[in-house]
Amino acid sequence: MTSKPRHAATATSPLGLLLITGAVATVGLLIVAPLASVFVDAFSNGPQAWWEALAHDPDTRHAIWLSLTVAPIAVLINTIFGVAAAWLVARFRFPGRSLLVSLFDVPFSVSPVVAGLALVLIFGRQGLLGPTLAWLAVKVIFAWPGLVLATTFVTLPLVVRELIPVMEAIGPEEEMAAVSLGANGWQVFWRVTLPNIRWALLHGVVLANARAMGEFGAVYVVSGHIAGATDTMPLRVEKLFQEYRTPASMAVASVLAALALLTLVAKVFIERQLETESKELEAARAPGADTDPTTGGLGP
């Protein structure tokens, strides 16, 4: 992008050095140091203690298991909803379309605690659907379905937001071509649409999963934090911390932090793929080089 001399000049100028120092200090102090301290604290009594804190406490074990169940269910719901909604928005024009797109963003702007309370107002015993749920003997609030609902709510925009711009950039032509070649709806989706959006979809899924694993506020309200029943990993971290069991708390926190780092690696890898794909899309739209030596002209 910029030429070499410019780089050199920026790096050595006093202002450049000041900015670099400032950025490194901020990132170090706010991101690297706290994250590192989580791992340091978690392993302060050795790996043995770390393992015991995770595996030998039944409530912690249950919290890990619950998180590993609730998050995938929420992500799955999000994936199905996200693909369907993105397809609707990217392929069709209808009244209320832009309102719908704005509504997708509500979970980003609403405080998770408010979202949790709203769910209690709807699904709680005194809530709007309370009598119906009681009659059906289904427990939502203070049970795992509530956790799934709250997690789905806060992660809702992540997949659909990722897909809409990609589907709009790709355009409907390939899908129309597939239809004209005789493909039915499912065949178009599995053979054409999905392969074209796979990296964007995976990106959305990874982000949604990270958010789902780490969600605290909304889940806190609907779970009722019953140890061994409705505590997820983040709730367990908080509870152990409140009970002055810091090493155990830090052990669970380190699992969450490790998941976050794993997400980061996956995210970087997927973003590279996405970049390659968008370059390919550009290349496919360009006229292309018409001087291919393997065929040359069409011959007589």
Partner 1 sequence: MSIRVDGVSKSFGAFKALDNVSLDVPQGTLLALLGPSGSGKTTLLRIIAGLEWPDSGRIEEDGTDITDRHARQREVGFVFQHYALFRHMSVFENVAFGMRVRKAPHAEVKARVDELLHLVRLDNLGARKPAQLSGGQRQRVALARALAIRPRILLLDEPFGALDAKVRVELRQWLRRLHDEIGMTTVFVTHDQEEAFELADDVVVMNEGHVEQRGKPEEVFDKPATPFVMDFLGNVNVYHGRVENGRAFWHGVPIDYPDYPHAQARAARVYLRPHELDIARAPSGGPSEANQGTSLAATVLRQTRTGPITRITCQPQEGGSELHVDLPSAAARQLGLQPGEAVSITPRHVRVFLPDPEYVI
- Residues near partner 1 (CB under 8 A) are 173-174, 176-184, 187, 191-192, 195-196, 280-281, 283-285, 287-292, 294-295, 297-299
The residue among 14 and 182 lying less far from partner 1, judged by its C-beta, is: 182
Shortest spacing between CB 244 and partner 1, in angstroms: 55
The residue among 47 and 293 lying less far from partner 1, judged by its C-beta, is: 293
E strands within the chain?
none
Alpha helices in 28-111 (DSSP H): 33-42, 46-55, 58-91, 97-104, 106-109
Instruction: Name the phi and psi angles at 9, rounded to 5.
Output: -65, -45
Shortest spacing between CB 218 and partner 1, in angstroms: 37
Q: Write down how long the chain is.
A: 300
Shortest spacing between CB 184 and partner 1, in angstroms: 7
Query: Cβ distance 240 to 227 under 8 Å?
Result: no
Work out the angle at residue 265's Cα, subtended by the Cα atoms of residues 235 and 276, and round it to the nearest 5 degrees: 135
d(CA 234, CA 24): 29
Shortest spacing between CB 201 and partner 1, in angstroms: 13
Shortest spacing between CB 83 and partner 1, in angstroms: 17
d(CA 221, CA 120): 8
What lies within 8 Å, CB to CB, of 286 at 6+ separation is: none
d(CA 227, CA 258): 23
Q: State the burial class of residue 234 (Cβ atoms within 10 Å of its Cβ: 0-12, 13-18, 19+).
A: buried
The residue among 2 and 291 lying less far from partner 1, judged by its C-beta, is: 291
Shortest spacing between CB 295 and partner 1, in angstroms: 6
What lies within 8 Å, CB to CB, of 21 at 6+ separation is: none
The residue among 139 and 198 lying less far from partner 1, judged by its C-beta, is: 198
Shortest spacing between CB 266 and partner 1, in angstroms: 21
Shortest spacing between CB 102 and partner 1, in angstroms: 22
The residue among 271 and 280 lying less far from partner 1, judged by its C-beta, is: 280
d(CA 35, CA 29): 10
The residue among 33 and 194 lying less far from partner 1, judged by its C-beta, is: 194
d(CA 271, CA 114): 32
d(CA 191, CA 165): 20
Integer-rounded Cα Rg, in Å, for the chain is 25
Query: Cβ distance 60 to 252 under 8 Å?
Result: yes
The residue among 47 and 297 lying less far from partner 1, judged by its C-beta, is: 297
The residue among 275 and 280 lying less far from partner 1, judged by its C-beta, is: 280
